[in-house]
Structure 1
Amino acid sequence: MKLRNSSILISVLAMAGTANAAEVFNKDQTTLDLYGEVQGMHYQSKDESNQGDRSHARLGLRGNTQINSELSAYGRWEYEAKLNNAEAGDGNGQHTRLGYAGLKFGTEGGTFDYGRNYGVMHDVAAMTDVLPEFGGDSFETPDSFMTHRGTGMATYRNDNFFGLVEGLHFALQFQGRNDKTGSNRNLLGANGDGYGMSLSYDITDTLSAAAAFSSSRLTAGQKQHLNIEGDRANSYAAGLKYDDEALYLAAIYNQSYHMTRIGNGAAIDGVPAFASKSENLEVVAKYNFDFGLTPMVAFVQSTGKATAFDGQTVSGALKKYVAVGTNYAFNKNISAFALYQFNLIKNSEADKAIGIATDDIMAVGMLYQF
């Protein structure tokens, strides 16, 4: 059986859609910006689980207020609605992506915030998560420890190392336990207390490097029902990127333990939901032409191993593909894209049984953002 920039702070606070935010309030040193996007996208694939409409809409608010000359406060909320659900649906397509509040301590003291935010592992993963679709998905999953968006994140960030080292940025993060009954979480979305750190350095104006690690306690339910040996889920990542506004190149490498999901994440046929160890590699390249066209290519590979319930060690590809496509920006608000994902995992009924994708996917869509 096979298994299947000037700083990090700015990149996290100014994710896609915020660059074109509209100011809706500005009074007494308090501002409020509104931003959002609507994406119409369709998947074409032989795999029924990756076939059909994938459209969504997002709306966000971002506020800042000056408390005194050395202290300011900020907050952000972002909501998403899936557009492929029936109007009489159960509402599962609507959710809060981000929601946090924090304080900024002068120009060199850094920031501290708490709420639903990005985990520090995303500070590295964001380097290759730059395509309209695909990429950035070898080890990142929302509500999977500190790899992506998650709940209960307390984060301190500092640029230029308190003003002492230009271009050196770091983040410290703690995540509280999330496994309460009634919180709409299953074993895959649960986590114990965790901590992490990221570090990045701007080597030149166009070249930067980053590294991150995180460690989270596994919950009692995860250890009992998912056949996980050990007490913690750990992850380590490093990345390098080159960006001169026209040419963009980036590569990341990650090792994760009890953290990368196997296929659909269900413990099927004696295989646990998380790989005991995974190695993940992502490489991306794109070029922005002056007239709005951006061709792009990405390679993503995730390999893992796990101990089955019968004690047998199994290993293989969790994900492996090449994505090729292009994006055309009509202006800063509207763009169209088409990408084709060439799946490099051989068609296997064993892979399909545990939810590992083995078919190609074509994604086409348009994005309007403000």
Structure 2
Amino acid sequence: MKRKVLAILVPALLVAGAANAAEMYNKNGNKVDIYGKVDARHTFSDNPGDDGDETIIELGFKGETQITNDLTGFGNALMKVKASDTEGSDNMYAKLAFAGLRYTDAGSFDYGRNYGVVYDVEAWTDMLPVFGGDSYTWTDNFMTGRANGVATYRNTDFFGLVEGWNFALQYQGNNEGSNTGEDQEGTKNGHDDVRFQNGDGFGISTTYDFGDVLEGLSVGAAFSSSDRTNEQAIAGGIDNRYSKSAGGSEADAWTVGMKYDANNVYLAMMYAETRNMTPYGDSGIANKTQNFEAVAQYQFDFGLRPSLAWVYSKGKDLGGYNHWNGQYHETDYTDKTLVNYISVAATYYFNKNMSAYVDYKINMLDNDADFYKDNGISTDDVVGVGLTYQF
């Protein structure tokens, strides 16, 4: 019986992101839970940037307060500390920090540092122990991952009228960076790396769970569009054939996906395209990417969860590519695969709080191609192993 309970519980924990939040306070309509984990991880690779200790600590809290019978206030904060550097290093930062209000079937509204709505679909394939979810998703890259200054409205079961139909609307304020010399006002929460700046943007996502009709099956789609900052557009240049930074005044992303999660089986896949937003290598921004991810997992009753996944991204019309035309080097556009690997992994859950894992990333990029060497893109395999305590 214990093994069957674990097989049912583990998939729910993977979706929830916290194994079993500990209740700190629950009285008079106010509730506070604390959650977190210690992930003791080491990765092995011939690439120095992927080889070494990657131990981290995460600690967060979720709170709710009952304002009226129908109105609830809530907040969520999650901090992360990299424990793989020397003491005194600046390795602590906020992954999440948002607060909001929820009014019964009318939905919820929150503001702060939160996930972009495009990640609503990407999250279905971002289920691997170490790798995954990185064909086009970067933190602080518009609304594809965790992002600053996002106002999000969410509605479940379409105002209580259609069970399983959820949707979200999101607005992100500009994060332009402090450089005002490029005819932009600038903001205090921008970034000096133009790849992680953004102008005002809007996003939408929708998912549908077929419920009892097709148990475990869900489909989803998401879209976002944002202004690019002046620095980003200037970095791309008028003829960005000579630049690794994309041109254009807007950055767009769209994705569709589906998942099956029932009977101890988990299957998910997604397809996405981006325009003028996706970083690659040391300094590049792709004019366009085409991305695909697929993952298959099975939860055994005794705690083992093997996993097989494929993650792929094709960059289109990448600028700044030098090639030899027989007499001299010529700069032109090129299409290159930016991400291409297979993940073979397994996690063993001792119980709801303790697990061990191994994840082998089989890198299928061409290790002889000058493009990857010139852009600082690793073509080496990586193996990650770890032990996690979570609560």
**Does TM, scored on the shorter chain, surpass 0.5?**
yes
CA distance in 1, matches of 2:55, 2:103: 39
Post-superposition offset of 1:169: 0.6
CA distance in 1, matches of 2:164, 2:143: 24
Q: Give the one of 286, 289, 298 matched to 1:278.
A: 289
* 2:46 counterpart SS class: coil
Counterpart position of 1:362: 383
CA distance in 1, matches of 2:254, 2:13: 19
Counterpart position of 2:170: 173
Conserved 8 A contact 1:55-1:83: yes
Q: Give the one of 114, 120, 124 matched to 1:123.
A: 120
Residues 12 and 336 of structure 1, relative CA distance in 2, 3 Å threshold:
closer
CA distance in 2, matches of 1:222, 1:12: 39
Counterpart position of 1:237: 255
Q: Deviations over 1:65-112 (max 9, x none)?
A: 0000110100011000001110032x0x21100000000012x11110
Conserved 8 A contact 1:274-1:306: no
Counterpart position of 1:160: 157
* 2:379 counterpart SS class: coil
Q: Give the one of 224, 234, 238 matched to 2:234.
A: 224
Q: Give the one of 313, 316, 325 matched to 2:336.
A: 316
Matched, 1:338 2:358: yes
Counterpart position of 1:30: 30
Post-superposition offset of 1:263: 1.8
**Where do residues 40-55 of structure 1 align in structure 2 (5 Å cutoff)?**
40-55=40-55
Counterpart position of 1:327: 347
Conserved 8 A contact 1:200-1:210: yes
Moved more, 55-64 or 197-206: 197-206
CA distance in 2, matches of 1:168, 1:72: 22
Name the count of aligned residue pairs: 349
CA distance in 1, matches of 2:296, 2:352: 21
The answer for unaligned runs of 5 or more in structure 1 is: 1-10, 267-272
CA distance in 1, matches of 2:22, 2:13: 19
CA distance in 2, matches of 1:152, 1:67: 25
CA distance in 2, matches of 1:332, 1:342: 29
Q: Deviations over 1:259-318 (max 9, x none)?
A: 221123x1xxxxxx2111100000000000000001111000000123425761111100
Q: In angstroms, what is the RMSD of aligned CA positions?
A: 1.7
Post-superposition offset of 1:15: 4.0
Q: Which amino acid aligns with 1:366?
A: L
Matched, 1:193 2:200: yes
Matched, 1:70 2:67: no
Residues 244 and 111 of structure 1, relative CA distance in 2, 3 Å threshold:
same
Conserved 8 A contact 1:319-1:357: no
Residues 15 and 27 of structure 1, relative CA distance in 2, 3 Å threshold:
same
Q: Give the one of 103, 110, 113 matched to 1:105.
A: 103
Percent of aligned pairs with the same residue?
43
Post-superposition offset of 1:133: 1.1
Q: Give the one of 307, 311, 314 matched to 1:303.
A: 314
Post-superposition offset of 1:166: 1.3
Conserved 8 A contact 2:195-2:277: no
Post-superposition offset of 1:350: 2.7
Conserved 8 A contact 1:254-1:281: yes
* 1:289 counterpart SS class: coil
Q: Which amino acid aligns with 2:277?
A: M
* 1:49 counterpart SS class: helix
TM-score, scaled relative to structure 1: 0.91
The answer for unaligned runs of 5 or more in structure 2 is: 1-11, 179-187, 238-245, 321-329
* 1:340 counterpart SS class: strand
Counterpart position of 2:277: 259
Matched, 1:209 2:219: yes
